[in-house]
Chains A and B, each alone.
Chain A
Amino acid sequence: GAGVSQSPSNKVTEKGKDVELRCDPISGHTALYWYRQSLGQGLEFLIYFQGNSAPDKSGLPSDRFSAERTGGSVSTLTIQRTQQEDSAVYLCASSLGDYGTDTQYFGPGTRLTVL
């Protein structure tokens, strides 16, 4: 079946502009996660959704970052007034939502470059 999809695959923007990144999870997966991976670094957790609710937003680095999920499916991560330090690959993952033994499947990521 179809995996996690993300769009756009690449985004180049100017400092100060807003960007929206989209994630389409695997059908039937109730849990959705956003991570960020900076060059040569491991993955940094940003936010978690269970259905349309976000019980854990602890990883969002500043109030310029927000995310929403509608219909228990597609999620959008918005970064306002982008800064150069926001440049990274933004990865989305989804899972069935079975706590304890859940497996997260990752999308291909969106590479964001802020000039």
Chain B
Amino acid sequence: QKEVEQNSGPLSVPEGAIASLNCTYSDRVSQSFFWYRQYSGKSPELIMSIYSNGDKEDGRFTAQLNKASQYVSLLIRDSQPSDSATYLCAAQTDSWGKLQFGAGTQVVVTP
């Protein structure tokens, strides 16, 4: 079983709609969680971090964490074509800061 799991997609979202991305993790000791955006041929770019249960909002992005269910999600409101990318969920699994990444969810925003 992979430590961090995501649906690979592609997730097709009409422009202006909400994109909802899900991620589950298996290691209960994970404390910190990150969402990275990766455009094709580029390196990952951090868009959100979340450490506590609940919601965290930053502009059009909202991250949600439920440690009891071992579940992390990312909502993208008012989706734009520029949001088309692969979104990587990562869990920090030890005190050294090592990140375990999911395989990523490809999001395609259609005009």
Binding site for B on A (CB under 8 A): 31, 33, 35, 41-45, 48, 50, 55-56, 91, 95, 97, 99-109
Chain B hits for A107, CB < 8 A: 43
Chain B hits for A105, CB < 8 A: 46
Q: Is B95 an interface residue (CB 8 A)?
A: yes
| Contact A106 B97, beta carbon cutoff 8 Å | no
Contact for A97 among B97, B99, B100, B103, CB less than 8 A: B97
The 9 closest A-B pairs by CB, nearest first: A42-B103, A43-B101, A42-B101, A106-B43, A102-B97, A56-B96, A106-B44, A99-B95, A109-B43
CA distance in complex: A55, B44 (Å): 24
Chain B hits for A43, CB < 8 A: 44, 88, 90, 99, 101
CA distance in complex: A45, B100 (Å): 7
Chain A hits for B90, CB < 8 A: 43
Contact for A45 among B43, B45, B98, CB less than 8 A: B98
CA distance in complex: A38, B93 (Å): 22
